[in-house]
Amino acid sequence: MNFRQIKYFVATAETGQVSRAANALSISQSAVTTAIRELEAQIGTELFTRTAHGMEMTQSGRELLALSYEILTKIDEAVNIRERASGTTGRILVATTYTVIGYFLPYHLDRIARMHPNLDIQVHELNRESVEEGLLANRFDIAIVLTSNISNPELETDTLLRSTRRLWVPQGHRLADRRKVQFGDIAEEDYIMLTVDEAANTTMKYWTFGSTPPRVKMRTSSIEAVRSMVANGQGVTVLSDMVYRPWSLEGRRIVTVETDPVAPSMDVGLAWRRGAEMTPATQVLYTYFRQAFNTPQI
Domain boundaries, the chain: 1-77, 85-160+265-292, 164-263
The amino acid sitting at 129 is E
Question: 85-160+265-292 has which fold?
Answer: D-Maltodextrin-Binding Protein; domain 2 (3.40.190)
| Confidence tier at 86 by pLDDT (50, 70, 90) | low
First to last CA, the chain: 16
Average pLDDT of span 103-107: 91
Question: Which band of pLDDT confidence, cut at 50, 70 and 90, is reported for residue 297?
Answer: very low
pLDDT grade for 269, boundaries at 50, 70 and 90:
very high
Same fold, 85-160+265-292 and 164-263: yes
CB 269 within 8 A of CB 161: yes
The CA distance from 49 to 247, in Å, is: 15
Instruction: Classify the C-alpha dihedral 170-171-174-175 as positive or negative.
Output: positive
pLDDT attached to residue 209:
65
Alpha helix positions (H), 168-277: 183-186, 199-206, 223-231
Name the pLDDT band for 70 (thresholds 50, 70, 90).
confident
**What pLDDT sits at residue 289?**
92
Answer whether residue 39 shows pLDDT above 70.
yes
**In the CATH scheme, what architecture does the domain 164-263 have?**
3-Layer(aba) Sandwich (3.40)
CATH 3.40.50.2000 fits 1-77, yes or no: no
pLDDT in tens, 158-210: 999 888 899 999 999 999 989 899 999 999 999 999 999 999 888 888 777 66
Confidence label for 298 from pLDDT (cuts 50, 70 and 90): very low
| Distance (Å) of CA 225 to CA 172, 222, 231 | 20, 5, 10
